[in-house]
A and B are shown apart, each in its own frame.
Chain A
Amino acid sequence: MYAGHIGFGLGAYSFRKTVPLWLLLIAAQIPDWLDAGYCLGNMNRGPYGLYTHGFIPIVGAAVLAALFTYLLIQDAKGALLVALVVVSHWGLDYLTGIKPTWPGGPVVGLNLYARPVVDVLLESATILIGWLLYRRTLPQSVRNNVWTYATLFTLCALQVVAGAAFALSLGGHPKC
């Protein structure tokens, strides 16, 4: 999943506005940021990305992100929310890809990437639901503002571009 993670982070923001929006969005992407780090370091991400998308790294990242959040805002519920957003990454990726579990464990997933149209629809729906929740956090006067709608349309547009690139195999090769 790509922009759908951002949609999830947007939705989570509506439950705890004490947590900075940027932090929830980054938290939703953390395993992919680990991928980027492994890429830059030219390191092996393990079978099916076990070292970045397996249960162990995701739970570890969730704990660290929660601690960081607590240090930043002194809000235990906010820190818990960030941890849940990190863990959500695996669940959402389960829908779109094939993901590792634990060392020696099965690889699982619905692999909707193989059905690009379904994938784009699912991710767009995730973005829409998250955006609707996020929109409720904004003052009434700007809920129909051009910038508010720009969020929705930009995320959906990015998803369509990413989905098209993936379907055309431009991004269908391994991440690194």
Chain B
Amino acid sequence: MPIHLIKGFELIVALLAPVVATVYFNRRSLAAASREDKGQVR
């Protein structure tokens, strides 16, 4: 695979990692809050 493609994909992975992690954790936090509102979590 050409080096520019490898480096391009490396960069995309590096950029996606913090975005995906942050959005995922945000959704888990909000889901936990929703469950607590419904009294399903003690």
Contact = CB atoms under 8 A, between A and B. Distances in A.
Interface stretch (A87-95, A103-111, A137-145): A137-145
B22 A151 contact: yes
Contact of B19 (A6, A37, A147, A150): A6
Given A29-B19, A142-B32, A154-B18, A176 B25 contact: no
B11 A32 contact: yes
Interface residues of A, number: 32
Interface majority SS (helix, strand, loop, mixed), chain B: helix
B8 to A, nearest CB: 3
B36 A142 contact: yes
Interface string A66-79: 00000000000000
Contact of A175 (B5, B11, B32): B11
A42 interface: yes
Interface in B1-25: 2, 4-5, 7-9, 11-12, 14-15, 17-19, 21-23, 25
Using C-beta atoms within 8 Å of the partner chain, give the interface range for chain B: 20 to 34
A162 B37 CA distance: 38
A6 to B, nearest CB: 5
Contacts of B2: 42
B17 to A, nearest CB: 6
A174 to B, nearest CB: 9
Contacts of A138: 29-30, 33
Nearest to A149: B25
